[in-house]
Structure 1
Amino acid sequence: MQSIKNISLALMMGLAATFSYAHGQISHSKTVTVTIRGNATACKTLIEKAGTQKKQALLTWDPATQKATLVYNQHATTKDAVLRRVTLAGFDNESYNAPVETYQILPETCQYKGTMTQQEHKSHSPSGATRDAAAVSVLDSVYKAYFAINNALVQSDATVVTQKAGELNTAVKSVKMGALSSNEHQVWMAVMGDLQKQTAALQSAGGIEKQRAVFASLTETIYKLVKASSVPYKIYYNHCPMYKGSANWLSSEQGIKNPYYGAKMLTCGSTKETIP
């Protein structure tokens, strides 16, 4: 019993020394505990390497608890930025899920979800048509909800805008990050916070003019995501030079139907870009 106590004490002293060293090496430091999924000690080095950055962040992961202690410089980085790096290395965590193709190339001893079957691998393979269709179908519901909002604004129908904003909110929440391609995944992590706020703001906006103001910001967020996606149809990135100095919108239909002015100036604007 005494020997066990001594070992526990030694471990605690070791951890304390590590944290003390980390705080000494990282200025403006903050310490938080985060949850990261992994498979025993096989993943420890990979996780800690992904989350650690010289003079900015030190990540120490415990395989037994799936918890990690993160010490980071609040002036140089954020917890979110560290967790994004961990995600892109193949590890799910409390904020993000890893891309399937990244997870699949982890060493077998570190595949904490188990080895996928051949059919699952085919359906998630970035080079397979089924994989592309799956990724697009997940995001397509987001895009279609956005286009429905656009059409309601063209009609100046605030009630329908609110309804479609609710559908967009549902679509955003249903997106499975692990089903996205690497490019989509990186952009999704960057925009999901803004997307959720803008969708909520659009739902609660009172009146068509307030809805249009939120829609202008929402458009730029959706545009970033569309640019990273592989869509099976053309999307038109249109520009209105008059609304609040300058504003854009996306449409799945060719031709100008301005959502910022509706029938007042329906054809005001031009197409800046056709995607893809």
Structure 2
Amino acid sequence: MKKVKLVTTIMVMAFISLTTMSCKDAKKEHNNDEGHNTEMNHDNSDGHHDGKKKKMAMNGDTNSQTILNDYFNLKDALVVDDNAKAKELGATLATSLGKLDISKFTDAQQSELKDIIEDATEHAEHISESPIAHQREHFKVLSKDITDMVAITGTQVKLYEQFCPMYDGGSAWLSMSKDIKNPYYGSKMLNCGKVQKEIN
């Protein structure tokens, strides 16, 4: 029995070491290979172009896009470790979720959306009243809910599903930019993660 525990412990330690190294390598690679590109991406993704994207998201299909914008603002607050801002934006997102008009969807989709929205609202409300470590725990489930919502409602802009192998056994989130800005670790491991899927 002791041998089994010892082997398990060694395997867990090895896994943690490997994932840590892979994140560190990815970070180095990101900084070295893409130094110049990152600057270009910054101009294209975060400047006027991003503003246009956000405007596009606000026009047209209404509430699901509003929810996405509120979600991205919340993600950005977690990226910069801003607990107070994340609380405020969690409350904003909870309100937007409550206003989603699902009447144009099929009965089956409406039923699924109701469940998704109910769960997402609960997590957004928890974020609005929690310390940052708990906000991040709730953000993980919230991100899955928002991804499930987008699978039904669609999106007017390209989204990137990004993945951090380190946080809580592996955690995903959505972004409007390819650049990795990790909401689960913020400044501790800002660039830890990878794009695992593009959603159009």
Above 0.5 in TM-score?
Answer: yes
Greater relative contact order (Cα 8 A, min sep 6): structure 1 or 2?
2
Alignment partner of 1:194 out of 119, 127, 133: 119
Superposition map of 1:34-183 within 5 A: 136-178=61-103, 180-182=104-106
Q: Percent identity?
A: 28
2:160 and 2:177 in contact (8 A); partners too: yes
Amino acid at match of 1:252: M
1:184 and 1:228 in contact (8 A); partners too: yes
Alignment partner of 2:177 out of 227, 245, 253: 253
Instruction: Compute the displacement of 1:270 (Å).
Output: 0.6
Q: Does 1:273 align with 2:184?
A: no
> Residue 110 of structure 2 aligns with which residue?
185
Instruction: Give structure 1 regions of 4+ aligned residues with deviation exceeding 2 angstroms.
Output: 180-187
Instruction: Compute the displacement of 1:186 (Å).
Output: 4.2
Instruction: Compute the displacement of 1:228 (Å).
Output: 1.4
What is the alpha-carbon distance in structure 1 between the residues aligned to residue 190 and residue 147 of structure 2? 22
What is the alpha-carbon distance in structure 1 between the residues aligned to residue 177 and residue 188 of structure 2? 20
Instruction: Compute the displacement of 1:197 (Å).
Output: 1.3
Q: Could you state the TM-score of these two structures normalised by the residue count of structure 2?
A: 0.66
Instruction: Compute the displacement of 1:174 (Å).
Output: 1.5
> Residue 36 of structure 1 aligns with which residue?
none
What is the alpha-carbon distance in structure 2 between the residues aligned to residue 218 and residue 230 of structure 1? 17
2:159 and 2:198 in contact (8 A); partners too: yes
Q: Does 1:220 align with 2:144?
A: yes
Q: Could you state the TM-score of these two structures normalised by the residue count of structure 1?
A: 0.49
Instruction: Compute the displacement of 1:184 (Å).
Output: 5.0
What is the alpha-carbon distance in structure 1 between the residues aligned to residue 144 and residue 171 of structure 2? 9
1:195 and 1:221 in contact (8 A); partners too: yes
1:235 and 1:253 in contact (8 A); partners too: yes
| Higher Cα Rg, which structure | 1
Amino acid at match of 2:147: Y
What is the alpha-carbon distance in structure 2 between the residues aligned to residue 154 and residue 184 of structure 1? 32
User: What do you get for the CA RMSD once the two structures are aligned?
Assistant: 1.6
What is the alpha-carbon distance in structure 2 between the residues aligned to residue 236 and residue 164 of structure 1? 21
2:163 and 2:173 in contact (8 A); partners too: yes
2:98 and 2:117 in contact (8 A); partners too: no
* Structure 1: runs of 5 or more not aligned: 1-132
